[in-house]
Amino acid sequence: MFGIWESDSKFNIAKRLVGQMVDSLNRQPNVQMALRCYGHQKKYPPQDCDDTKLEVAFARDNAFQIKQRLNKLSPSGTTPIALSLEACAKDFPDKNARNIVLLITDGKEECGGDPCAISAALQSKGIVLRPFIVGVGKLDEDIAKSFSCIGNYYDASSESGFKQVLNVIISQVLNQTTCQVSLLDKNGKPTETDVAMTFYDQTTGAIKYNFVHTLNQRGLPDTLRLDHFSTYRIVVHTIPEVEKKDVKLTAGKHTVIPIDAPQGFLKLQAGDGGFFKDLQCIIRKSGETQTLEVQPLKETRKLIVGKYDLEVLTLPRTLIKDVNISQSYTTTVKIDEPGTINFQFSQQGIASILLEDKGKLTWVCNLSENVQQEVVRLQPGKYRAVFRGKAIRETLFTIEKSFTVQPGTSQQVVLK
């Protein structure tokens, strides 16, 4: 930074323009500033890679202190960029604020650190936003490219360009950037709403925001104010989830983000017998095995338009395939009422219930081995019960009984 650059040394020009910048930020509401410098405490050579220091701590209205401190400093050492970035994590008083780093340099990392990795780590932890890097003077192309992984790189190849870059950064920091997420129905209209959304930084994977989507009083998607520094991946927590990648916002402007999220409703209905008080239904996409939702009976759920397989946790389980969910329409699926079976045994033993269908027997459940009476609710159909007393040690003494279950009825099955 000692090098002569147009009207003065790089350091003096940077010091003057940074002074103007902090003056413009000094009275801004909710803005605090700090000054960290590197390569200014020790002479080079020898190389001291620990040469970084917080010269002015974060505070409001501290532009004078920053300018005063800058006037007393001069560049004399090396360039530990990675170490200085890492140290910034401890400088910020509030890790949940919009923490912004402006890095000004006329050269590359000289101490073997990895500024890219440090920057990514700070961003992934939500400590800082994507940093601004200003390259003072005409940096080599390879050096300039190496800074692109750290944050938003600006090449200040001239004194006037440096001033313009700082003005752009101030504008981006202060100007509000807005957007709206338009959840589109089947007709391409932004009518879908009332669902949670998560905004991730696509580069680092860090969670940036969580919102519940809302339509305003005019029936339009509500306006959000977000940082434009990140490229976002938006996950809308519909059932199943939908996402949109590579979402970029333009500083100071309003961006409409359309996401296809057409939805309809699924209602599970049973008879009025009250047998299904706690019954639940597993919902999967047609032909897939992943569970999307477990829906209680007699409740309604909103699902993305498409076909679904239902597995109702009756005895035996009721499988309903390819249930179609249409836009804004409630699809009602009715479940047959069970019948109530009172099993009576002559003694404690081993008993199983088998469903008889198309010449095949399928296991339904086992009954308790430690009772002589048990009540079970089974779906309508043909069944067989097989039983052997615990004390009997011969398979041939197995007892078998066939019975038929009608919806909403009660009966007794005796196994002696």
Query: Is residue 382 within 8 Å of 368, Cβ to Cβ?
Result: no
Same domain membership, residue 193 and residue 315: no
Query: Is residue 180 within 8 Å of 223, Cβ to Cβ?
Result: yes
Same domain membership, residue 210 and residue 358: no
Same domain membership, residue 88 and residue 55: yes
- Confidence bin at 274 (pLDDT 50/70/90): low
Same domain membership, residue 248 and residue 184: yes
Pick the last residue of a domain from 284, 307, 335: 335
Q: What tens digit of pLDDT does each residue of 195-224 get?
A: 999 999 888 888 889 999 999 988 999 999
Q: What is the token pair recorded at 281?
A: 């239904």
Mean pLDDT for the stretch of residues 299-315? 95
Q: What tens digit of pLDDT does each residue of 131-173 get?
A: 889 988 777 888 888 888 888 888 888 888 888 999 888 887 7
| High-pLDDT (> 90) share of the chain, % | 60
Give CA–CA dist 74/400, Å, rounded.
97
Mean pLDDT for the stretch of residues 52-72? 94
Pick the last residue of a domain from 280, 308, 335: 335
The CATH number that applies at residue 374 is 2.60.40.1120
Same domain membership, residue 405 and residue 356: yes
pLDDT of residue 96: 72
pLDDT of residue 95: 67
pLDDT, the chain, mean: 90
pLDDT of residue 271: 65
Same domain membership, residue 186 and residue 167: no
Pick the last residue of a domain from 313, 335, 357: 335
Q: What tens digit of pLDDT does each residue of 329-355 get?
A: 999 999 888 999 999 998 999 999 999
Q: What tens digit of pLDDT does each residue of 376-396 get?
A: 999 999 999 999 999 898 999
Give CA–CA dist 59/31, Å, rounded.
8
The CATH number that applies at residue 289 is 2.60.40.10
Q: Is 179 exposed, middle or buried (0-12, 13-18, 19+ CB in 10 A)?
A: buried
Query: Is residue 144 within 8 Å of 138, Cβ to Cβ?
Result: no
Same domain membership, residue 167 and residue 68: yes
Same domain membership, residue 230 and residue 118: no
Q: Which residue has the higher pLDDT, 226 or 270?
A: 226
Give CA–CA dist 239/244, Å, rounded.
15
Query: Is residue 309 within 8 Å of 321, Cβ to Cβ?
Result: yes
Give CA–CA dist 162/147, Å, rounded.
17
Same domain membership, residue 41 and residue 157: yes
Same domain membership, residue 80 and residue 11: yes
Mean pLDDT for the stretch of residues 18-36? 91
The CATH number that applies at residue 41 is 3.40.50.410
Mean pLDDT for the stretch of residues 123-127? 80
Mean pLDDT for the stretch of residues 103-129? 87
How many structural domains does the chain have?
Answer: 4
Answer whether residue 4 shows pLDDT above 60: yes
Question: Tokens 């209209």 map to which residue?
Answer: 189
- The sign of the torsion formed by the CA atoms of 318, 323, 325, 330 equals negative
Range of the domain at 396: 339-415
- Confidence bin at 264 (pLDDT 50/70/90): very high
Same domain membership, residue 215 and residue 146: no
Residue 76 Cα to chain centre, angstroms: 45
Mean pLDDT for the stretch of residues 45-67? 92
Answer whether residue 251 shows pLDDT above 90: no
Same domain membership, residue 162 and residue 39: yes
